[in-house]
Amino acid sequence: MAQEASSSTSSKTISLKTGDGEIFEIEASAAKQMKTVQRLIDDLGDDITIPLHNVFSKELPKIIEYYKKDITGEITKDFEAEFVKDLNDDEVKVLFLAANYLDANKLFEFLSQNIADRLESKSVEYVRKYFGVENDFTPEEESKLREERAWSFRGIKEDE
């Protein structure tokens, strides 16, 4: 197994600074997968530490871990299952928001699916809280709506 000689451009690393001031390194090829980061690199150059105001030191390492696997083509269903296994719903939410901010498409897709899976069997109240949604229906509006969409529960109700 020949040793890699001197550094090539593909092993260049980029410095990222989180909103709470911590610095992390990622490979340039991983940074390419996060369009927001890539845009900042294009504007500011790749020798500068890239500031990420909306991403914090709690979640960035996990995102870096995901894209480390991605650039070696090793993302499998098993890896993705492991990746989210020990995360609670809020931690997934934080990662999702970060992936959205970073415009990191692959992670965004995967986490969208994971959030949908987690929310499917949850109550209306839980889902409202999760999305930060206030119930702004009047009681009358709400009960009318429940009646109207009863067809989607049973799927066989006759009344229009």
- Picking from 101, 99, 71, the residue whose alpha carbon sits closest to that of residue 84 is 99
Among residues 69, 75, 94, 106, the one that binds another protein under rule CB under 8 A: 94
Going across the sheet that includes 50-52, the strands are 23-27, 13-18, 50-52
Q: Does 155 bind another protein (CB under 8 A)?
A: yes
Q: How far is the CB of 151 from another protein (least distance, A)?
A: 5
Q: How far is the CB of 19 from another protein (least distance, A)?
A: 11
DSSP for 15-68 reads: EEEETTS-EEEEEHHHHTTBHHHHHHHHHH-TTSPEEETT--TTTHHHHHHHHH
Q: Print the binding letters for residues 54-93 with another protein: x by CB under 8 A, - otherwise.
A: ------------------------------------x--x
**Cβ nearer to another protein, comparing 47 with 134:** 134
CB atoms within 10 A of CB 94: 15
Q: Which stretch binds another protein (CB under 8 A): 9-17, 28-36, 38-46, 135-143?
A: 135-143
Both tokens of residue 66?
């995901």
* Binding region for another protein (CB under 8 A): 1-2, 90, 93-94, 97, 100, 108, 112-113, 115-117, 119-120, 124, 127-138, 142, 145-146, 149, 151-156
